[in-house]
A and B are shown apart, each in its own frame.
Chain A
Amino acid sequence: MAEQSSGNGAPARPVSPHLSIYRPQLTSVLSILHRMTGVILASGAAMLCAWLLTAAAGERYYAWTEWFLTSWLGYALLAAWSWCLFYHLCNGIRHLFWDAGLGFSLKQTYASGAAVVVASFVLTGLSWGLGLACNLAG
């Protein structure tokens, strides 16, 4: 146990051992992923804002966004943002069920967690697969 001062003049009290000593479980990994995808989606929201603003500013400025988003970095970011969005969306629905008091048993949390992971990859794959297929066909 580590001794830690709270910094406000209170005596140093022992704190419990922290995250680093626990073996990661599906539930805890998905929990921190929800936060991480949320933070990554913040950069996606900034991109969304830039996309709309350059479009509103005119063709000349929109060309910058088109150039960036169709570059390799742009495609990589779009792929990351799309998976983050689907994961955060699916796990967010899982959280809303918890907020309503549903699905709290250990078995249910693991089952819904696995479903969220599968759904996030299926939805991402489906969007990109169908998009590429339509582009090739058209």
Chain B
Amino acid sequence: MSLQSPLARVRHLGAAKEGVSHWWGQRLTALLLVPLALWFVGSLWSLVVGGADRAALVDWLSGPVAAVLMLLFLGATFYHLKLGLQVVIEDYVHGYCKWVLLVLNTLLCLVLGLAALYAVIVLAVGG
């Protein structure tokens, strides 16, 4: 049993002071993703209508505008995803399980995001 008063315990630990950057990160990526997601859906749509084969995909990503926008879209998407899933886990999962899922979330989003960025670069420089 602690001799600290509840107030002292709260004051000692205090806030982690990471909340503001999390909040802003989620909003800024959201703002970025509004036009980028619409552009991506439009691009996907014309790819599918054009046959959706690998050659069409390589052709699309070999243009500099498409490649850079795709890198931006993926970076914003996976960062936004990491921040969003983190909040869901923090709200609904408790105890030991929470920490395991939080670490898994961070690592999986990082790995999948980097893999997707790598794939776009490979396709952009010639497939």
Contacts and interface: CB of A to CB of B under 8 A. Distances in A.
B63 interface: no
Nearest to A135: B49
A49 B123 CA distance: 13
B119 A53 contact: yes
Interface string B53-88: 110011000000000000000100110010011001
Contact of A96 (B27, B45, B85): B27
15 contacts: A38-B81, A42-B85, A45-B81, A45-B112, A49-B113, A52-B116, A55-B58, A66-B52, A66-B53, A85-B41, A89-B34, A96-B34, A131-B49, A134-B49, A138-B49
A127 B41 contact: yes
Interface in A42-94: 42, 45-46, 48-49, 52-53, 55-56, 59, 62, 66, 82, 85, 89, 92-93
Given A55-B54, A131-B49, A46 B112 contact: yes
B55 to A, nearest CB: 9
Nearest to B34: A93
Contacts of A38: 81, 84-85, 88
- Which secondary structure dominates chain A's binding surface? helix
Given A52-B120, A53-B115, A39 B49 contact: no
B88 A39 contact: yes
A98 to B, nearest CB: 11
B118 interface: yes
A85 to B, nearest CB: 7
Contacts of B38: 89
Interface of B: 1, 6, 27, 30-31, 33-34, 37-38, 41, 45, 48-49, 52-54, 57-58, 74, 77-78, 81, 84-85, 88, 112-113, 115-116, 118-120, 122-123, 127
Given A48-B77, A49-B115, A96-B30, 8 more contacts: A55-B57, A55-B123, A56-B127, A85-B37, A96-B31, A99-B27, A130-B45, A131-B45
A13 interface: no
A20 B116 CA distance: 40
